[in-house]
Chain A
Amino acid sequence: MAGEVSKAIPTKELWEGGRSPFSMSYGKMMMWFFLISDALTFGAFIVSLGWFRYTYPSWPVSDQVFFHFPFVSGHVPLGYVAFMTFILIISSVTMVLAVEAGHRNDKSGVVKWMVATIIGGFIFLGSQVWEWSTFIAGPDGLIETWYDNATITSNPYGPPQYAQFFYCVTGFHGFHVFSGVVINIVILVNAIGGTYERRGHYEMVEKVGLYWHFVDLVWVFVFTFYYLL
């Protein structure tokens, strides 16, 4: 499938200049480098979460904090978070399918799958907003009663850092999702306008897909380290 990458190119030719030794275009290479640095940023967040958490002898158990589900009055521990994780995984899958359609120069396929990805992104963002509002509202479920609300300085669930990390990590991640959705919309408009058809390849969809998968990857780690452990 990826002809250049699987070809056995002699080392001298590979590193003698005039071509990419990684058989990857400049744009894609730079996207990977950016993802490496961004992943280390999120890695720093998660490691510092672990650090703070272990300085305390006890830490709230997340399935006792996150048990709300929209339109359901019962107790659904981790239910909505699981739904959000699935949404992000499915939107990642639709993104891969968009890239695959691009590899067959199938413009309508690319458009179809990118629209699905963008919709998934918006659903995730809306869900995150809802999660924040129920988290802030506190155990009594009302934002108006401030005494039991979760703020940056104090929260009813545990040490102050519990809420601080929730806001900062999911906030940073949500911002990445938002920027990813915006970029996806721009690329979708370009694809509909035929820019990539004229160019002859859909590599831009691939690059944007890398960013979107990175967003999904970070969520997988945040889900494990904040909600499960």
Chain B
Amino acid sequence: MERDDIKEYSLGAQHSEEEGRKIRKNIIKVTILLSVITALEVIVGVYFSKSNDSVSDRAWTLIKYGYIVLTLVKAGYIVLEFMHLGHERKSMKFTVLIPYIFFIIYLIFISLNEAEAVSDSNFPLNGNF
């Protein structure tokens, strides 16, 4: 069978030394961003953890959603920049991203709803004495 990676697809990805320098700078920028976000998550995780009594319920909810948002930002940068999906054809981008967005939102909804239902039946008087 004819190799198709020798066609223009992969050869079109090759770039000169000068473009390479710009690309490397962008990579370092994304790296620093990811490291800063991770460091932030760890610091918040250590000082404002759930075991810390000074963290109110409302603060904890905010922190929870903050973690999820930061994780999605990190995931976005890894997929779009490191895995290069941001530079692929639109049809390729959507082929990967759309099933995720639908499946994951649906699965999260199911996990939270059904788990709450099971919890209510296992611990029916929890919080409602």
- Which residues of A line the B interface, CB within 8 A? 1-6, 19-28, 32, 35-36, 39-40, 43-44, 47-48, 50-57, 61, 63-64, 77-78, 82, 85-86, 89-90, 92-93, 95-97, 99-101, 103-105, 199-201, 203, 206, 209-210, 213-214, 216-217, 220-221, 224, 227-229
Contacts and interface: CB of A to CB of B under 8 A. Distances in A.
Contacts of A214: 83
B107 to A, nearest CB: 4
Given A100-B24, A228-B45, A22 B95 contact: yes
B105 to A, nearest CB: 11
Contacts of A25: 4-5, 7, 9-10
Secondary structure call for the A interface: helix
Contacts, number: 192
A77 B107 contact: no
A3 B12 contact: yes
Contacts of A77: 45-46, 49
B75 A100 contact: no
A22 B50 CA distance: 46
B23 A100 contact: yes
Contact of B14 (A23, A28, A57, A103): A103
Given A1-B13, A44-B107, 20 more contacts: A2-B13, A2-B87, A3-B8, A4-B12, A22-B92, A25-B9, A32-B95, A36-B96, A50-B111, A54-B119, A55-B119, A77-B45, A82-B42, A89-B34, A93-B82, A201-B14, A213-B78, A213-B79, A217-B75, A217-B78
